């Protein structure tokens, strides 16, 4: 295998993993605050639709990314108002958010179906990007990839090294005790939910601005649900999300090569391979006892301040 082919395969894996990293790291912060948002898929597809619309209308990838972030944040704000402000069931609200996002994105993106634009530019550093085997992989990615890694590093530092991160984790572990200590439980949860929505919107925008630079209804193809599974896979630890996302990206690349090689297996089975691989890894690495020990104790529980 040549160095060019080796780098191409690895870059394809990283590209497939990036939207999952972005969406999952946002959901991790949301869940560490005690909020279970099952609407990641809906926020991602809205980010994809409005991200492409903004980029196509303005000609700017940056504006498209910002539009995707805004779309995801607004969807998360709606979810937060329902579940945090009105204490409505989080599971039902998250499922409704996904259905709403899928329908609304199809409506808003109708006029952009079939249109294409240039993909987000990739970094190129003379001398470094030309290094064999690892140069283009490390120094030749698009800005979204580097943003995803920075988000993971920043989130890990925030949750473990800052006072605000400690307050957020306390809110997710025991919201009643956090409230008794004077912590703003609702505000913390709402801000964490907005962060999760912004990350999901950015993940969706990545799909239409870099991964496949066009818009198609339903193009998230279940990635929001995979991002939810990755949070459990990672035991609510930021850096493990990268490992899980790369596993899914690798399975995606393998199934594409398997289809090209015509192994004689049904194409539908090969297309399902990345999702099956994620489920198997989830079952293998997240036993029931470990999952219960790692999950925030107040996850999914509505908070009603005592009078």
Q: What percent of the chain has pLDDT over 90?
A: 64
**Displacement of CA 262 from its chain's centroid (Å):** 32
pLDDT of residue 71: 98
**Residue-wise DSSP of 207-225:** IIIIISSBB-TTTTTTHHH
pLDDT of residue 103: 95
Is the separation of the CB atoms in 205 and 225 below 8 Å?
no
Burial 177-209 (b: 16+ CB within 10 A, else e): ebbeeebebbebbbbbbbbbbbbbbbbbbbbbb
Q: Where are the alpha helices (DSSP H) in 124-184?
A: 135-139, 143-161, 163-173, 175-180
pLDDT of residue 259: 60
pLDDT of residue 289: 44
Closest to 11 measured CA to CA, from 101, 118, 138: 138
Closest to 292 measured CA to CA, from 156, 146, 173: 173
pLDDT confidence bin for 56, thresholds 50/70/90? very high
Mean pLDDT for the chain? Answer: 87
More confident call, 124 vs 183: 183
Q: Over range 277-295, report the average pLDDT.
A: 60
116 beta partners: 214
Contacts of residue 66, Cβ cutoff 8 Å, sequence gap at least 6:
54
Give the range among 31-45, 122-136, 195-209 with minimum mean pLDDT.
Answer: 122-136
Pairwise CA distance, residues 121 & 140, whole Å: 9
Pairwise CA distance, residues 164 & 105, whole Å: 34
pLDDT digit string, tens, across residues 76-117: 999 999 999 999 999 999 999 999 999 999 999 999 998 989
Highest mean pLDDT (candidates 2-6, 264-268, 281-285)? 2-6
Contacts of residue 96, Cβ cutoff 8 Å, sequence gap at least 6:
39
Give ∠ CA 135-140-146 in degrees, rounded to 5: 115
**Residue-wise DSSP of 267-302:** HHHHHHHHHHHHHHHHHHH--HHHHHHHS-TTTT--
Q: Over range 141-156, report the average pLDDT.
A: 95
pLDDT of residue 285: 56
Is the separation of the CB atoms in 214 and 116 below 8 Å?
yes
pLDDT digit string, tens, across residues 252-280: 777 666 666 565 556 566 667 667 766 77
Write the secondary structure of 77-109 as one string of H (helix), E (strand) and C (coil). HHHHHHHHHCCCCHHHHHHHHHHHHHHHHHHHC
pLDDT of residue 261: 59
pLDDT of residue 253: 73
pLDDT of residue 284: 62
Q: What percent of the chain has pLDDT over 70?
A: 86
Q: Which residue has the tokens 């990545």?
A: 206
Report helix, strand and coil shares of the chain as percent, to nearest 5: 75, 0, 25
214 beta partners: 116
Q: Over range 206-222, report the average pLDDT.
A: 92
Give the range among 32-36, 41-45, 167-171, 218-222 with minimum mean pLDDT.
Answer: 218-222
Pairwise CA distance, residues 54 & 146, whole Å: 22
Cβ neighbour number for residue 24 with a 10 Å cutoff: 35
Domains and CATH numbers, the chain: 3-294 (1.10.3470)
State whether residue 113 is helix, strand or coil: strand
């Amino acid at each position: 295998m040549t160095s060019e082919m080796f780098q191409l395969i690895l870059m394809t894996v990283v590209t497939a993993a990036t939207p999952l990293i972005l969406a999952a790291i946002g959901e991790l912060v949301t869940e560490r605050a005690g909020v279970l948002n099952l609407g990641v898929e809906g926020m991602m597809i809205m980010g994809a639709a409005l991200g492409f619309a903004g980029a196509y209308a303005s000609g700017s990838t940056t504006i498209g990314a910002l539009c995707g972030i805004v779309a995801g944040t607004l969807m998360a704000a709606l979810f937060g108002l329902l579940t945090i402000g009105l204490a409505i069931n989080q599971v039902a609200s998250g499922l409704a958010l996904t259905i709403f996002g899928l329908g609304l994105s199809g409506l808003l993106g109708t006029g952009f179906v079939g249109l294409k634009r240039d993909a987000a530019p990739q970094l190129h550093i003379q001398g470094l990007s030309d290094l064999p085997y690892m140069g283009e992989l490390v120094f030749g990615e698009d800005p979204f990839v580097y943003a995803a890694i920075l988000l993971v590093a920043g989130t890990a530092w925030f949750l473990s090294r800052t006072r605000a991160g400690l307050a957020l984790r306390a809110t997710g572990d025991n919201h009643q005790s956090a409230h008794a200590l004077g912590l703003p439980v609702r505000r913390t949860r709402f801000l964490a939910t907005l962060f999760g929505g912004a990350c999901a919107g950015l993940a969706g925008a990545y799909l239409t601005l870099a991964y496949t630079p066009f818009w198609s209804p339903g193009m998230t193809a279940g990635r929001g649900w995979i991002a939810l599974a990755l949070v459990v896979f990672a035991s609510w630890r930021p850096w493990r999300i990268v490992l899980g996302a790369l596993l899914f990206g690798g399975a995606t690349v393998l199934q594409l090569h398997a289809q090209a090689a015509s192994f004689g297996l049904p194409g539908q089975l090969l297309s399902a391979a990345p999702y099956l691989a994620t489920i198997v890894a989830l079952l293998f690495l997240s036993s029931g006892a470990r999952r219960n020990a790692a999950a925030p104790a107040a996850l999914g529980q509505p908070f009603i301040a005592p009078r």
